[in-house]
Amino acid sequence: MGQLRQLVPAGTEPAWKRPYPWEDNPFRISLEGGYSLVLGSDSDVLEGGGAFGFSVSYEFYRWDAFFLAGDFSFLRSMHSGKGTLTGVTQNVNPTMIGLRGGYRTGRHEISLTLQTGALIMDASGVRPGGRSNTIWGLQYSASYAFGITSLLSVGPELRFTNGIDAGQYSTWFDMLAKVSFHF
């Protein structure tokens, strides 16, 4: 036992607890994947479906453990029709730009994002129906990240996307897993 104490000096923190200098890496590229639910009036005709995409951000402001970043994201979700849209596949592609702000301590990060942009929709399937147009939308998200190394972090993200099409609101709720690369 005495030899072990000599090898590990008192006060040494385990490697998995040590913070990584994320502040040295302001660029972030994230790959996202998960499930997208349809809420509101569209839930009568569309099922939830798979979603995948990416985001790119740059941290331009830091104050102590707080940060602010510009953020661009693209997500593609695929929804099967039901009811009057049976046989139709509705794809929703939010292409958004906005701000991401949050708090980082050690290996942990919590952030909120507010974005606006285009919801590009296209429909395909065995029968006509669905929407193939572009509408304006807003997107809100909350995410958590755990830093594995100074270049890699992982964590979940919850995202709401609202779109307005001819006076009707469409809402999607995305539950995503995110892998981020920091440069």
CA dihedral 59→159→165→55, nearest 10 degrees, is: 40
Task: Scan for tokens 């200098």, then name that residue.
Answer: 21
**Among the listed residues 57, 56, 96, 58, the one whose alpha carbon sits nearest the alpha carbon of residue 76:** 96
Instruction: Output the tens digit of pLDDT for each of the chain's 183 residues.
Output: 555 555 555 566 655 555 555 667 789 999 999 999 988 777 888 899 999 999 999 999 988 889 999 999 999 999 988 888 888 888 899 999 999 999 988 889 999 999 999 988 888 876 666 777 888 999 999 999 998 888 899 999 999 999 877 666 788 999 999 999 998
Phi-psi region for residue 144, left (φ > 0), alpha (ψ -120 to 50) or beta?
beta
- Domain regions of the chain by residue span: 29-182
CATH number for the segment(s) 29-182: 2.40.160.20
User: What is the number of helices (H) and of strands (E) in the chain?
Assistant: 1, 8
